[in-house]
Amino acid sequence: MKEEFRILSTTAILGYGFPQESFDEGMKRKPDLIAVDAGSTDPGPFYLGEGVSFTDRGAVKRDLEIMICAGIKENIPVVIGTAGGSGAKPHLEWCADIIREIAKEHDLHFKMAMIHADMDKEEMKKALADGKISPLEPAPQLTAENIDATTHIVGQMGVEPIMKAMDSGVQVVLAGRAYDPTVFAAPAIRKGYDKGLAIHLGKILECASICATPGSGSDCMFGYLGEDYFRVEPLSSVRKCTTLSVAAHTLYEKTNPYILPGPGGHLDLTDTTFEQDSENTVKVKGSRYVTAPKYTIKLEGAKCIGYRTVSVAGTRDPIMISKIDDIVEGVRARVADNYREKGYQYTLNFTIYGKNGVMGDLEPVKDAHPHELGVVIEVVADTQEQADTICASARSTMLHYGYEGRRATAGNLAFPFSPSDFHAGRVYVFSMYHIIEVEDPTALFPINIVTL
């Protein structure tokens, strides 16, 4: 019978923080690995496109300082995935600089592997021409023009590049864009543990204590991987794992309750069972990994489509609220007429909070009677100047728009801020959300070994 492989997951995303007490509890359990997922596409395409992190540098440094100092002292490998939030070269270098700073300040000496996840545009265009790239629903077919317009393209690495990096005897692995469970699963698979169970455990650990009750993305979680099972345990006395909380989190971010696709294959959860192992620990069995006929890697890319200006306002006039849809269309038409001769290319959006601001046209409550509404006016145009102009025109038109039954002419909107309009800068969309077929799972992910 194999000894359990022990994994300390610190937080749902590097920089979200965790209690020192929970981390200390995890260290008492003698982990074989300290790991954290550092990124996500959840915050949208801007951070990938712009090459900046959505997490704060000071917060990331605080988390890393605790993890790396403990890992080096106790000779425990530390693995970080999707560095800098999006995992492209600028994100990887940003996170590496923080680690270098920590090493210098604490007089630490260790080897670190940096795994790059950037995709070469010429290689991508060749793969596209060879029929090796296909869209992920509902993404459109990819074009060479879209590849050229994309600022950063990353591939979502599987376990193989991380395993290869660890073969070099490094103590810290800093990976670019990575499939979320891999940083937890790869070291265990490298040691001979079951791939299906390791990836399922990684799927849960990548969100740390979100799988507990009460859930938290800012607290540690501990995983024990055995020969035919794994167990998960929260490290705070205020939380516990239940079969319901762990099973529910297994369904997180999945379109099919039984199948979880990833690089090179998928996780089959058809026969998975959840058992209450102790008051706060759950044991999971039966998860299987199914290898795909062709190894595919998910590609992510973002391109700039213009510049954004935003204005935020509110209204409490019941007459205006009752006519808000007509007013929005009237303002939209007035603005379009004002700038028809200029030929500006822009989008003008009105998001009405209190009516359907969250779900838009999908909002099922059609007859709500709010006493106030929040109005977000958003413009995206080819230049910041044009976006400013259109937003200012829409805001001033709505402010003084005349509608039937209006009693006061001082203004229809209340503005919480002065100035009322904000430059949001460059706007990005996901231009690549596709998969690429590869022969070698490590070929697209070069590894650089550095000594600190």
Both 219 and 337 in a single domain? no
Could you tell me which of 396, 362, 364, 361 has the C-alpha nearest to residue 377? Answer: 396
Both 356 and 280 in a single domain? no
Both 232 and 327 in a single domain? no
Q: How confident is the model at residue 410 (pLDDT cuts 50, 70, 90)?
A: confident
Q: Give the whole-angstrom CA distance, residue 319 versus residue 410.
A: 15
Residue 426 lies in a domain: no
pLDDT of residue 168: 96
| Structural domain span for residue 150 | 5-300+432-451
Residue 293 lies in a domain: yes
Residue 308 lies in a domain: no
pLDDT at 367 over 90: no
Both 392 and 444 in a single domain? no
Residue 252 lies in a domain: yes
Q: Give the whole-angstrom CA distance, residue 300 versus residue 322.
A: 43
Both 389 and 444 in a single domain? no
Both 258 and 398 in a single domain? no
Both 154 and 268 in a single domain? yes
Residue 108 lies in a domain: yes
Q: Give the whole-angstrom CA distance, residue 183 versus residue 33.
A: 10
pLDDT of residue 41: 94
Report the number of distinct structural domains present in the chain: 2
Arithmetic mean of pLDDT, 74-99: 98
- What's the whole-number average pLDDT of the chain? 96
Arithmetic mean of pLDDT, 4-33: 98
pLDDT of residue 13: 97
pLDDT of residue 2: 82
Residue 312 lies in a domain: no
Q: What is the pLDDT of residues 169-184, one digit of tens each?
A: 999 999 999 999 999 9
Q: How do strand 295-315 and strand 282-285 relate by DSSP bridges?
A: unpaired
Where does residue 414 rank: exposed (0-12), middle (13-18), buried (19+ CB within 10 A)? middle
Q: How confident is the model at residue 167 (pLDDT cuts 50, 70, 90)?
A: very high
Q: Give the whole-angstrom CA distance, residue 423 versus residue 309.
A: 5
Q: What is the pLDDT of residues 387-408, one digit of tens each?
A: 999 999 999 999 999 999 998 8
Arithmetic mean of pLDDT, 219-231: 98
Both 295 and 401 in a single domain? no
Both 296 and 321 in a single domain? no
Q: Give the whole-angstrom CA distance, residue 233 versus residue 282.
A: 7
pTM over the 0.95 mark: no
Both 197 and 343 in a single domain? no
Both 350 and 296 in a single domain? no
pLDDT at 443 over 90: yes
Both 32 and 114 in a single domain? yes
pLDDT at 1 over 80: no
Arithmetic mean of pLDDT, 88-97: 98
pLDDT at 166 over 90: yes
Q: What is the pLDDT of residues 136-148, one digit of tens each?
A: 989 999 999 999 9
Q: How confident is the model at residue 29 (pLDDT cuts 50, 70, 90)?
A: very high
pLDDT of residue 99: 98
Q: How confident is the model at residue 409 (pLDDT cuts 50, 70, 90)?
A: confident
Residue 422 lies in a domain: no
Q: What is the pLDDT of residues 290-345, one digit of tens each?
A: 999 999 999 999 999 999 999 999 999 999 999 999 999 999 999 999 999 999 99
Where does residue 314 rank: exposed (0-12), middle (13-18), buried (19+ CB within 10 A)? middle
pLDDT of residue 434: 98
Neighbours of 278 (CB within 10 A): 11
pLDDT at 35 over 80: yes
Q: Give the whole-angstrom CA distance, residue 214 versus residue 22.
A: 15
Q: Give the whole-angstrom CA distance, residue 376 versus residue 144.
A: 35
Residue 419 lies in a domain: no
